[in-house]
Chain A
Amino acid sequence: MIRFKVLMCVAILIYAVGARAESLYLERMASARWSPAELADTLTLLQQHEDIEPVSVQRPAPFHQQKAPQVDAQREFCVACHTTLPHSENKRLRSYLNLHVQSLACTSCHFRPEEVELSYRHWPLKQSVAADDAPSLIAPFSAGVVEAFTREQPEIERLIGDWKQMDIQHKAAVHLHIHLPLDEQGPGCGNCHTREEPMLDLQALEYDEEQIRKIQQDRVARFLGDESLEDQPIRLIDLLR
């Protein structure tokens, strides 16, 4: 029975997003199979999970005026659960990884099937707005179909709404369907912040030369991405040299 419900959910997803054309991610979602150990891990994860309500501290206000993060990414499907600040475990990298939520769809880093060549293009999050002003993220495309969803699609909204009423077995199955095609670990800093065969073709993504130089030769990313320095703190003076 549970299996049937889950399949229905996934079918809804496929219908919602993939009806126009075949999305590779949706295909993999539908065909996901898991071992009893993976199911047990997921059940434990869900049981131990505690929702932390976002808190805003009004007083005392932050001493320095801050720049608020851009919130275009709020339209993305994954953000419904993971929020716009999804990375919190790795103290060294979390803030830097969260920077990328402003410009990259989650699947750009976390959906990387080995045998398929993906192209990365701007993915408008809102169709109704004029093309120049439309909020967009860089997302992976396979055979011209985007491998990401917005949460504003009615069926996805329904799935997110149903999530709270699901029993834990049901939740675990949906969780596995969604997450098994994804990699927990994204690509390292050096995959993009490099001049030698970067993962993203920034020129095709219409970045200007100055922006490309800043991204590819980013000093901080080079330090953070250096695995030999992973365990030792970075001295600020070294960063400036």
Chain B
Amino acid sequence: MEQEREWLQQALRGDTEAFGLLVQAYERPVYNLAYRMLGNAAEAEDAAQETFLRAYTKLATYQPERKFVNWLLSIASHYCIDRLRKSQRAPQVSLEDPLPPQWLTSDAPRPDQEVSKKQSRDLVRKMLDRLPDVYRAAVVLRYWYGLSYSEIAETMGTTESAIKSRLHRARRMLAQDLQSARA
């Protein structure tokens, strides 16, 4: 934390090398969020880079009482949602596309037991792609970052009750998704 504070102060004085160290420290969480939101590596790379550029130009507005990584995630999630809305991109996966079938029969083994990692990754990506943008962001921040409802609300600029509702609806959609794939 002390090191991070020092890098931040140097970056605030225009030291791009210090900012580069902050990029190295947080590239993984920012990239992961962009990847989960946008669904492909090339767009995730571009969005993650743009997130850091925006962070650099807005660094003076960062409030130190807030976790720096959460501030970065906030920029990244807003940017990704804007990007998806501007491109008005349809889900990359059609709702008619079947989900990977291997573990979707009622007597099939659980995914953590048998299904290959690649199949699990594909399944997660497809399930996420089917969710509306704001639900997807809430799910990603909850599962990959373990943020509390209040932290997700702060990151997404909304209320805790809205997050509670989004997670509830998102999980219901995910359950229905699995159900229809089985049927």
Answer whether A and B are interacting partners.
no
CB within 8 Å of A: which residues of B? none
